[in-house]
Structure 1
Amino acid sequence: MTMSHRAGTLGRPMAEPPDRESGGRRRSFLALLMSVILLAALGGGVYWGVGRIQEFFNAPDYTAVGTQTVTVEVKAGTITDTANTLYDGGVVKSAKAYIEAAEDDPRSTNVQPGFYKLVKQMPAKEALARLLDPERNRVVNRVTVTEGEMTLDIYAKLAKALDIPVKDFVEAGGKPRDLGVADWWFKRDDGKRSATTVEGFLFPATYEFAPDVTAKEALSQMVEKFNEVTTELTFADTVQTTLNISPYEALIAASIAQAEVSRTEDFDKVTRVIYNRAYKGGFPCACLGMDTTVNYYLRLTGAGGARSEHLTQAQIHDPDNPYNTHDKAGLPLGPIGNPGRDTLRAAMTPAKGPWTYFVTIDKSGTTAFATTLDEHARNIRTACRNGIPLC
């Protein structure tokens, strides 16, 4: 009897029919996955992880304030950046809860960058309220450095404010290149060697430091400000192009001008006197003849400083003092303090004039300038009549 066989069945088993249910599940999963990827892309890639993916559909929030305090750094950025920071720090239950709270409160754009003492597990509105009250909740280590302060005074000030040993600042300050001072700063055109210290590079300003800042980080922040200001002023390029001196020499001049006079309007003239004495041969031996440089070295070496009328001849003419500008020609070894913006600008663009002398002639700080010794002597007599202890 002849038997018929369907094609494909002879010699091998028939293939199993496809599992429609499992295939459907795979397609559903792939569709969901693609939706999540698409949503993440549309959101700029901000939300990642299961917790944040869920935030597209709801905004989990805490209903009560927890008990564990936490310090969180809020950086400059968008509301979403702040939301993510709080979420990562365990402060809010979801980033979206904070975003919604911020969108409901127009003051949210006033949140300032900084470190805040908050609590883990807080309602988003409460977290926002605390960020908007920086006087109570912001953790601030604020230190103000004034124009002309020398490094030793700055180290003492920082050590007290940040609870860091002074020796840590001394050690960090001894390596200025590691703090961000470029190597070219220490090159001079006058043939003299440089101090290669951080003196002069700690820009005077008010700083806010992180609670866990190190000595090196604090000094680096100040050097960064110095670099920012001098770049803005085009300090290095200007002094090299218009004065034909190195930036380091101009920095030294700025620091001396900062120490010599107190009134901003006198900085450019005093700087001109410094340049005239050091480079123009307008003073005996091309020496600066300034007591402020002598005093700097006395303080630097622990001998203490003194008013000019109290300095001894041995101190003024000490041959071992690299900051002795009474007997040694030109500018001293390095800056004698940390100059501010006005003196840096004056060192870049000194006043034009032949002056080689100056003296404070009254107790309000008025400075008189002179070209000859006779003119200077008359100014000194005026100062003495006004009660300045020079005679």
Structure 2
Amino acid sequence: MIDELDVAFEEDADRSKPRRHRARKGGGRSAVALLVTFVLLAGLGGGVYFGYTKVRGLFVAADYSGAGSAPVEVQVQKNASLTEIGNELVKADVVKSTKAFTNAAEAEPRSKNIQSGTYNLRKQMSAKDAVALLLDPAARVSKGVTIPEGKTAKQTFELLAKATGLPVKDFEAAAKDPEALGVPDWWFKRNDGKQVAKGAEGFLFPDTYEFDPKADAGQVLSTMVDHFLTVTGELGFADDVQKSLKVSPYEALIVASLSQAEAGIADDLPKVSRVAYNRAYKEDMTLQFDVTTNYWLELQGKDPKHSGELLAKEMEDPKNPYNTETVKGLPLGPINSPGKAALTGAMKPADGPWLFFVAVDKSGKSAFAVTSAEHDKNVQKACAAGINLCGK
């Protein structure tokens, strides 16, 4: 009897040959398949890499290399964002893309210190080099000029001339036509029936400016007028004073300039404005503000004086259109450039019946009074504090 195991073994042995034969055929096909797979994978990998480089190219900001070539001037506006600065640099062909500039600026912690002004840069610079130059004080063409609050137009022209190199007479000539500088004609209207001083006085907003080195006197003053209109617009100045105080914007501007000159500290601005309104409109009194006499002296080329040193003939000069000593109501026009606090004080004066005020200490703080008797007591306090008023 044949052993079942032997038969099974022989059957397996017989079947083993074709299986080995098929295995050899299968091995050939596997090699081909492996080769095809490799080629496909390589192609796919190349495609992926090509696609990656293409996509990567879309996200990498275009940039120039090197320190640049031809010199070019670029102006950075006040409060400009990095994107806005980058846009200006692209326009001037300083950097290749805004994104390259903002990336370089964000990588430099000092970039938040980039100041407004005009800069000497170079065309086709790397964004990193452009950021470095914008942080270099030596690259700035203009250092800027600060016009303090309360400066008269004449004083402002002198500061501007020194900063820009333009003659004072150019500013004086440009200031004669305020509407050409951008002041709307409706600003030169009064409700009290008095004349107006048609000039730039009062409209040259005090601030720190960076002017284009190529700007002429008219363009410089127009920039300041535009700033004035922006500030008063944001305050709602014109509409507010007409509605709440029943005065024209021009009259309120005059009051703002008077309080700017008279108040020794900012906290007193709304009170001084109230005194001006009370005397000019409620009590039909003369203002008796010494600052208007000093303004007239300055217009004549004379030095201003301390209140205690002013002569009666100077304060009562009938030729002075800014006379508030003997002429009732507000003077001809503004006497300086009031700042935002003074404008706000004139727009929203403090509530009170005051008719008098006087500085009572050397910090400039004033004491306010309703009656002459109260005022006289305040004057004595001022004299005791060393304020030179007693000789007036």
If the TM-score is normalised by the length of the shorter chain, which range does it land in? 0.7 to 0.9
Distance 1:90 1:346, change over 3 A: closer
Percent of pairs identical after alignment?
A: 48
Which residue matches 2:220? 218
170, 175, 178: which is aligned to 1:176? 178
How far apart, CA to CA, are the structure 2 residues paired with 1:173 and 1:142? 21
Distance 1:56 1:186, change over 3 A: same
Which residue matches 2:45? none
SS in 1 for 2:107: helix
CA contact (8 A) 2:82 2:102 kept: no
Please give the residue correspondences for 1:50-199 in structure 2 after superposition, counting only pairs within 5 Å. 61-63=64-66, 65-66=68-69, 68-74=70-76, 76=80, 79=83, 85-86=88-89, 89=92, 91=94, 95=96, 99-100=99-100, 102-103=102-103, 106-107=106-107, 110=112, 114-131=117-134, 133-199=135-201
Distance 1:125 1:299, change over 3 A: same
How far apart, CA to CA, are the structure 2 residues paired with 1:382 and 1:84? 60
Give 1:138 deviation, angstroms: 3.1
CA contact (8 A) 2:82 2:105 kept: no
Give 1:382 deviation, angstroms: 1.2
CA contact (8 A) 1:141 1:210 kept: no
CA contact (8 A) 2:264 2:363 kept: no
Which residue matches 1:326? 325
SS in 2 for 1:369: strand
How far apart, CA to CA, are the structure 2 residues paired with 1:364 and 1:83? 46
How far apart, CA to CA, are the structure 2 residues paired with 1:84 and 1:289? 54
How far apart, CA to CA, are the structure 2 residues paired with 1:147 and 1:84? 33
CA contact (8 A) 1:201 1:338 kept: yes
Q: Which amino acid aligns with 1:129?
A: A
Distance 1:236 1:85, change over 3 A: closer
SS in 2 for 1:178: coil
Is 2:337 the counterpart of 1:308?
no
Gaps of 5+ in 1: 1-54
Distance 1:339 1:102, change over 3 A: closer
- With normalisation by structure 2, the TM-score equals 0.77
Which residue matches 1:7? none
Which residue matches 2:266? 264
Between structure 1 and structure 2, the one with the greater Rg is 2
Q: Which amino acid aligns with 2:255?
A: A
Give 1:115 deviation, angstroms: 2.4
How far apart, CA to CA, are the structure 1 residues paired with 2:379 and 2:132? 62
CA contact (8 A) 2:105 2:128 kept: no
Which residue matches 1:202? 204
Is 2:365 the counterpart of 1:385?
no
SS in 2 for 1:318: coil
Gaps of 5+ in 2: 1-57
Give 1:90 deviation, angstroms: 5.2
Distance 1:260 1:57, change over 3 A: closer
Is 2:343 the counterpart of 1:340?
no
Give 1:212 deviation, angstroms: 1.2
Distance 1:296 1:104, change over 3 A: closer
Which residue matches 2:10? none
Which residue matches 2:372? 373
Give 1:389 deviation, angstroms: 1.3
Q: Which amino acid aligns with 1:170?
A: E
C-alpha RMSD of matched pairs (Å) = 2.6
248, 271, 276: which is aligned to 2:250? 248
Give 1:72 deviation, angstroms: 2.4
Give 1:102 deviation, angstroms: 4.9
How far apart, CA to CA, are the structure 1 residues paired with 2:234 and 2:61? 48
Distance 1:101 1:85, change over 3 A: closer
1:78-126 Cα offsets, whole Å, 9 max, x none, are 75x766754654545xx25x74465466337856664221234544442
How far apart, CA to CA, are the structure 1 residues paired with 2:200 and 2:230? 16
Q: Which amino acid aligns with 1:330?
A: G
Aligned length: 328
